[in-house]
Chains A and B, each alone.
Chain A
């Protein structure tokens, strides 16, 4: 058994390279999905049906399908519409689109329970439109959603493992490559699991730290 781990250790560059890709994909996907989600949340809260209905359809549609199916659609079906992406970009796009829907729903939930006085006070101070949203509405709802957002980020990290199927060189893919080359399945995948666990623990610690600061602000 220790001999297996020695082989994985000898190829740690490869494993850590995959890990770096997983971290990069997760970070970029989180940032872009959050930005996209805050735009979709506006549409979800709109009073106009023509704006609200397509956003609702998009969010509900994403919540019905598995992430891998969306990744396949982006990777295989977009080229037939004339959009050609390499597997890394396709994977990132799928992560962003899919998780933006879930995050938009989380933001909408927090927004719906935001006290009306809060917004009225903003209006009284002369805030309106996008500035009202950015300065008055968004900060409290983002802070209120921190724990749930943390869970969604962990979901992004785990979803990124699906991208091994479209050959994105992330952590699971590299562990798979090492195992198939040297037949060290136990050591390769246990190392990958340990790294996933480490990354998710980091997210949980970050969430706890942000929550602590959010509580101090209140």
Chain B
């Protein structure tokens, strides 16, 4: 492997990380919105969300990426590979994040909400001041776990023509006829990316522990 090959793997890593981050930045709050729709039992919406989550959790990211990339232009919405990858990653991760948020919301003690109403808080204010500060800490490990799963399913976006870490490694292997070195380098890169997320989670927990005395 030449220096150029290492560089193209690093480029692939930048693609994997940036597309995953965009998916996370949109998918985590979107998951919360979906979970809130179910939690507050908004009539038709709650059932639609339940159906969405059930289907999306069963859909492989490869199949979803192909569907988004090929079917959207077919119904008159032209889409490039990068937006198609972001849309499919976000649709996928939002479904899983919805379930994580929902579990935290379902476990939330009703008595606290009653207390908030009793002191005259509106539902919105009670959510901002009482519910959210508690549920995000409970959901953090689950959300970070889902982020690492997202990184591991991200090579699926190669089917719409995006060169991520895995795709870059395959290309180098095909050119040099020595697939093992690029694959091992790719493995090391994924390890570092996943480690980065887990470390970030730990440092947030340590920070919370210092500030509030609990994580």
A residues adjacent to B (C-beta < 8 A): 61, 64-69, 72-73, 76-77, 80, 154, 157-162, 164-165, 171-172, 175-176, 179, 183, 185-186, 189-190, 192-193, 196-197, 199-201
Contact = CB atoms under 8 A, between A and B. Distances in A.
B144 interface: no
B190 A72 contact: no
B97 interface: no
A80 B179 contact: yes
A80 B178 contact: yes
A196 B59 contact: yes
B62 A197 contact: no
A172 B59 CA distance: 10
A64 B187 contact: yes
Contacts of B152: 65-67
Interface string B136-167: 00000000000000011111101100000110
Given A162-B62, A185-B74, A201-B58, A69 B169 contact: yes
A189 B58 CA distance: 13
B101 interface: no
Interface in B83-99: none
Interface stretch (B64-72, B116-124, B204-212): B64-72
Given A64-B194, A189-B67, A69 B58 contact: no
Contact of B75 (A67, A186, A201): A186
A69 B59 contact: no
B190 A80 contact: no
B81 interface: no
B54 interface: yes
Contacts of B169: 69, 72
Given A77-B180, A197-B55, A65 B71 contact: no
Interface of A, helix, strand, loop or mixed by DSSP: helix
B18 interface: no
A196 B63 contact: yes
B46 interface: no
Interface residues of B, number: 38
Contacts of B194: 64
22 contacts: A64-B187, A64-B190, A64-B191, A65-B191, A66-B152, A66-B155, A66-B166, A67-B153, A69-B155, A69-B169, A72-B173, A76-B179, A80-B179, A154-B57, A158-B60, A165-B158, A172-B63, A179-B70, A186-B75, A189-B71, A193-B58, A201-B58
Given A72-B170, A76-B183, A176-B66, 5 more contacts: A66-B153, A80-B180, A171-B63, A190-B71, A196-B63
Nearest to A163: B62
B186 interface: yes
B183 A77 contact: yes
A189 B153 CA distance: 18
B156 A200 contact: no
Interface in B188-203: 190-191, 194
A197 B54 contact: yes
Nearest to B151: A66
A189 B190 CA distance: 29
Contacts of B153: 66-67, 158
B62 A164 contact: yes
A179 B165 CA distance: 27
A31 to B, nearest CB: 21
A200 B58 contact: yes
Given A66-B151, A72-B170, A192 B190 contact: no
